């Protein structure tokens, strides 16, 4: 999975990228020119189950699931059509979901492109850039299809045309495509078009350190939620600055810091969790003396395909998947006990893994 961070200039994208990836890139008080920043990093997916299994199995190696993350430069207003902007949208196209950073923190030392902080206006401005980009795409494509049809070489393009007309109607209302209910078939038909506003979005309101959970923050989140009412978008608030500090602390110090702040867990954990949910992803786990590890799959992936994530040999030679849910394993304490209790099951090729299933593949090649 790959997440792309977008937002207006100086919203705090790089700050949040640092917090997510543990990198320490410079977060500058001046907006970087569009197209100049494309930082790539890896997020280790926080997973308490993996921590716990590591304590139990004491493996040589512990591996968390990971997610790629790109810090894409600020999309400023009205740069439509420029080369830099094309680069930004190309980058965005590679991502499965978007983290849209919206500034709420006040700081006179940090220029806001519009002079003052206004989260809903800013979010709307960015969405409009996505909409304009997609509108251009739809119009161009519809024109091509119409031309092909005129020339009598447009056979089979009707389905695409019909979906695009639905898209057009929505975009003309200045609404992002993620609000459209499309069937899998319809999605497939337009699958090669590089739509930006179709990507599921996590909207992150970057609030000042003193505004975590404040009335002002609650109101701003509610206003954004109203603006985003629809599908495939979720709104959160966090303090990018604090999250960055947290990410640089050792686990023990971080726990103390969280307690002082009255926060249960780093907001980043929630972002990742929700991104998984938005994208329909789950993890299955493998645990042994060599390695405890989380593997990311789409919900609904059958056991034999999931096996292929680990190695193609296991997929080819798949016999059975010894499977137990994480909770059942913890309740039993050991695999031997789980076998006695009957909670360790043998599943076949077509079994759909559930989130947190601990799996041992039996295979033969």
| Least distance to ligand GTP, CB of residue 358, Å | 39
Q: Which of 4, 13, 43, 45 lies at the binding interface for ligand GTP (CB under 6 A)?
A: 13
Which residues share a beta bridge with 66? 44
Q: Cβ-closest residue to ligand GTP?
A: 74
Nearer to Mg ion, 13 or 100 (CB): 13
Binding string, 43-82, against ligand GTP, x = CB under 6 A?
A: ------------------------------xx--------
Q: Which of Mg ion, ligand GTP, none sits in contact with 102, Cβ below 5 to 8 A by type?
A: none
- Minimum separation from the CB atom of position 38 to Mg ion (A): 10
**Is 240 a binder of ligand GTP (CB under 6 A)?**
yes
What's the sign of the alpha-carbon dihedral 268, 274, 278, 279? positive
CB of 43 to Mg ion, least distance (A): 17
- Could you say which of 97, 99, 105, 135 contacts ligand GTP (CB under 6 A)? 105
Q: How far is the CB of 104 from ligand GTP (least distance, A)?
A: 8
Residue 10 interacting with ligand GTP (CB under 6 A): yes
Residue (17 or 295) nearer to Mg ion, CB: 17
Distance CA 358, CA 285 (A): 5
Q: Please tell me whether residue 119 binds ligand GTP under the rule CB under 6 A.
A: no
Token representation of residue 263: 């926060």
CB of residue 220 to ligand GTP, shortest distance in Å: 13
Cβ atoms of 220 and 104 within 8 Å: the answer is yes
Handedness of CA 286, 291, 292, 296 (dihedral sign): negative
Tell me what percent of the chain is helix, strand and coil, each rounded to the nearest 5.
45, 20, 35
Interaction between residue 21 and ligand GTP (CB under 6 A) = no
Out of 24, 107, 225, 253, the only residue in the binding site for ligand GTP (CB under 6 A) is 107
Between CA 3 and CA 147 the distance in angstroms is 36
User: Residue with structure tokens 């849209």?
Assistant: 100
In the bound state with ligand GTP, the residue whose beta carbon lies nearer, of 133 and 241, is: 241
Q: Which helix (H) or strand (E) holds 167?
A: helix 158-172
Q: Which is nearer to ligand GTP, 75 or 234 (CB)?
A: 75
Sheet containing 66-72, strands listed edge to edge, beginning at the edge strand earlier in sequence: 38-44, 66-72, 2-7, 97-103, 201-206, 233-238
Contact 287, 59 (CB under 8 A): yes
| Tokens coding 107 | 């700081």
Which lies closer to ligand GTP via its Cβ, residue 3 or residue 27?
Answer: 27
Q: Would you count residue 32 as binding ligand GTP (CB under 6 A)? A: yes
Determine the residue with CB nearest Mg ion: 14
Crossing angle for the helix pair 119-150 and 158-172, to the nearest 10 degrees? 150
Q: How far apart are CA 197 and CA 97, in angstroms?
A: 10
Nearer to Mg ion, 13 or 141 (CB): 13
Q: Is 245 exposed, middle or buried (0-12, 13-18, 19+ CB in 10 A)?
A: middle
Applying CB under 6 A, the span of 52-60, 180-188, 233-241, 287-295 interacting with ligand GTP comes to: 233-241
- How deeply is 307 buried, as exposed, middle or buried, from its count of CB atoms within 10 A (0-12, 13-18, 19+)? buried
1, 3, 4, 7: which one binds ligand GTP (CB under 6 A): 7
- Nearest CB to Mg ion, comparing residues 69 and 321: 69
Residue of 4, 6, 9, 237 interacting with ligand GTP (CB under 6 A): 9
* Residues making contact with ligand GTP (CB under 6 A): 7, 9-15, 27-29, 31-32, 37, 73-74, 105, 107, 110, 206, 208, 239-241
């Amino acid at each position: 999975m790959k997440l792309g961070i977008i937002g207006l200039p100086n919203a705090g994208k790089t700050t949040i990228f640092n917090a997510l990836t543990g990198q320490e890139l410079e977060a500058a008080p001046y907006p970087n020119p569009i197209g100049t920043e494309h930082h790539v990093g890896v997020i280790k997916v926080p997973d308490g189950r993996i921590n716990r299994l590591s304590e139990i199995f004491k493996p040589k190696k512990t591996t968390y699931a990971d997610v790629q993350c790109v810090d894409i430069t600020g999309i400023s207003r009205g740069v439509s059509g420029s080369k830099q902007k094309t680069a930004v949208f190309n980058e965005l196209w590679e991502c499965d979901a978007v983290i849209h950073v919206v500034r709420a923190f006040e700081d006179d030392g940090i220029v806001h492109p519009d002079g003052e902080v206004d989260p809903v206006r800013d979010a709307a401005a960015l969405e409009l850039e996505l909409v304009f980009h997609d509108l251009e795409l739809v119009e161009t494509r519809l024109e091509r299809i119409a031309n092909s049809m005129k020339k009598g070489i447009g056979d089979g393009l009707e389905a695409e045309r019909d979906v695009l007309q639905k898209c057009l109607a929505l975009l003309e209302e200045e609404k992002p495509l993620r609000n459209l209910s499309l069937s899998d078939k319809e999605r497939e038909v337009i699958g090669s078009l590089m739509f930006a506003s179709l990507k599921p979005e996590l909207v992150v309101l970057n609030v000042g350190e003193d505004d975590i959970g404040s009335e002002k923050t609650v109101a701003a989140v509610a206003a954004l939620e109203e603006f985003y009412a629809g599908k495939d978008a979720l709104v959160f608030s966090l303090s990018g600055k604090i999250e960055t500090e947290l990410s640089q602390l050792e686990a023990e110090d971080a726990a103390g810091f969280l307690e002082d702040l009255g926060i249960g867990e780093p907001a980043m954990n929630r972002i990742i969790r929700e991104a998984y949910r938005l994208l329909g992803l789950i993890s299955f786990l493998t645990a042994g003396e060599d390695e405890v590890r989380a593997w990311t799959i789409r919900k609904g992936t059958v056991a034999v395909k999931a096996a292929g994530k680990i190695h193609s040999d296991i997929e080819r030679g798949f016999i059975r998947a010894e499977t137990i849910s994480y909770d059942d394993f913890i309740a039993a304490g050991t695999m031997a006990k789980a076998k006695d209790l009957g909670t360790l099951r043998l599943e076949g090729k077509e079994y759909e893994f559930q989130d947190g299933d601990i799996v041992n593949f039996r295979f033969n090649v």
